[in-house]
């Protein structure tokens, strides 16, 4: 099998021939992307002052000494790459064959609650060069094996590894949220804490960004966006490609081995009453000749818990999610928290 056969047909033309109409290209600019060093937080000895500044001024930071076993991270990347290297048609049927809640997506990171790609409005940017697996951690079955088929055996190994990885990352997310709440002087009961961040909402997405022909120009792997989550935790490979908006400029975040990247999402911005920021980011690979692999964990509030803020109308995450999906489907893009400012009407 040719390596290109593992990608969606829309991707193959870009990989082989350069960017056709239909893929999301970046507007050409005269300045070169700049590298930037984001704040570093040591998880073994959290410094509240550094954490506060990172959340307020950046909305993103690097986490070292996180405690996730490095062999686990390596094994998860290896088996994820193996599954994503299956023929495109096989990946489309992979999870249905074992009745799994996991799903395969491509061309957009905008998914519904079931993990299926949202149909986007006519004004949407074109296809994003990304594919991956969506994994709702709380819905994982005890086993995905239904026979001795090698592919299903590999899928079962993937389930076991990502379940273990999820336990580690969930522990980190809860600890970080509690530390961030302290920096905001939020005294939360256990009910309030689970309202703002409910562990059972956690999900993992495994992403693969393909290489492309050098004549393709700068093709976006993931368009400019903010995460809808409370907290997102990213593990990326050495390829890099993550870019963040800082002081109205785009900067490239260099990958650092054995660390995680934590960014705050829209829900944390609302919970903090805009004291902390949900960082704008995108994925744009500098090296067009290699693929990029990453794993990202997202966690959300309890769906019906009301989030109150002086900057936004009271809303639940369920209402926020529904509005985002309505905007993506009608306008082709996410509007996000701006829909919930006092002066903004809702357009569900």
Tell whether 348 is covered by a domain: no
Whole-number percent of the chain with pLDDT over 70:
85
Tell whether 122 is covered by a domain: yes
Who wins on pLDDT, 192 or 289?
192
Under 8 Å between Cβ of 298 and 308: no
In sign, the C-alpha dihedral spanning 233, 174, 166, 204 is negative
pLDDT tens-digit map of 267-277? 999 999 999 99
**pLDDT beyond 70 at 176:** yes
Who wins on pLDDT, 264 or 15?
264
Rounded to an integer, the average pLDDT of 94-100 is 81
Tell whether 68 is covered by a domain: yes
- Least confident range from 151-160, 221-230, 339-348: namely 339-348
The predicted pLDDT at position 30 comes to: 41
Domain residues for the domain of 50 are 31-305
Rounded to an integer, the average pLDDT of 282-293 is 78
249-253: strand order across its sheet:
34-36, 249-253, 242-246, 281-284, 220-225
Rounded to an integer, the average pLDDT of 135-160 is 81
pLDDT tens-digit map of 197-228? 999 999 999 999 988 655 455 567 888 999 99
The predicted pLDDT at position 121 comes to: 61
Tell whether 173 is covered by a domain: yes
Tell whether 334 is covered by a domain: no
Question: What pTM value is reported for the model?
Answer: 0.92
CA 335 from chain center: how many Å?
Answer: 17
Under 8 Å between Cβ of 297 and 232: yes
Q: What is the CATH number of the domain that holds 235?
A: 2.60.120.330
- Least confident range from 42-46, 97-101, 257-261: namely 97-101
- Least confident range from 16-30, 81-95, 163-177, 235-249: namely 16-30
Q: Please tell me the total count of domains within the chain.
A: 1
- Is 271 exposed, middle or buried, given 0-12, 13-18 or 19+ CB atoms closer than 10 A? buried
CB atoms within 10 A of CB 253: 22
Tell whether 318 is covered by a domain: no
**pLDDT beyond 90 at 343:** no
- Least confident range from 45-59, 71-85, 203-217, 238-252: namely 203-217
Tell whether 234 is covered by a domain: yes
pLDDT tens-digit map of 104-145? 999 888 888 878 888 776 555 567 889 999 999 999 987 765
Tell whether 213 is covered by a domain: yes
């Amino acid at each position: 099998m040719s390596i290109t056969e593992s990608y969606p047909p829309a991707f193959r033309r870009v990989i082989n021939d350069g960017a056709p109409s239909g893929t999301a290209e970046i507007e050409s600019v005269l300045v070169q992307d700049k590298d930037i060093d984001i704040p570093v937080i040591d998880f073994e000895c959290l410094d509240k002052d550094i954490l506060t500044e990172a959340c307020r001024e950046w909305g993103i930071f690097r986490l070292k000494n996180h405690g996730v076993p490095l062999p686990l991270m390596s094994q998860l990347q290896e088996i994820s790459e193996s599954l994503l290297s299956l023929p495109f048609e096989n990946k489309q049927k992979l999870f249905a064959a074992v009745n799994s809640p996991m799903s395969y997506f491509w061309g957009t990171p905008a998914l519904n609650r079931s993990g299926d790609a949202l149909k986007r409005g006519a004004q949407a940017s074109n296809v994003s060069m990304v594919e991956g697996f969506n994994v709702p951690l709380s819905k994982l079955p005890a086993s995905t094996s239904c026979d001795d088929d090698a592919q299903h055996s590999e899928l079962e190994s993937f389930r076991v590894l990502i379940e273990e990885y999820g336990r580690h990352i969930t522990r980190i997310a809860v600890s970080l949220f509690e530390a961030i709440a302290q920096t905001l002087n939020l005294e939360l009961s256990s009910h309030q804490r689970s309202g703002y961040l409910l562990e059972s909402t956690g999900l993992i997405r495994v992403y693969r960004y393909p290489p492309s022909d050098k004549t393709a120009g700068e093709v976006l792997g993931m368009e400019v966006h903010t995460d809808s989550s409370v907290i997102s935790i990213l593990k990326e490979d050495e390829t890099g490609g993550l870019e963040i908006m800082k002081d109205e400029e785009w900067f490239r975040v260099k990958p650092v081995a054995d660390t995680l990247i934590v960014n705050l999402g829209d829900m944390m911005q609302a919970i903090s009453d805009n004291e902390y920021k949900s960082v704008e980011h995108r994925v744009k690979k500098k090296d067009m000749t290699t693929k990029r692999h990453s794993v990202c964990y997202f966690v959300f509030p309890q769906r019906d818990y009301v989030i109150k803020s002086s900057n936004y109308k009271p809303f639940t995450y369920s209402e926020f999610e529904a509005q985002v999906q309505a905007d993506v489907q009608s306008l082709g893009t996410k509007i996000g928290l701006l829909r919930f400012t006092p002066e903004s009407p809702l357009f569900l």
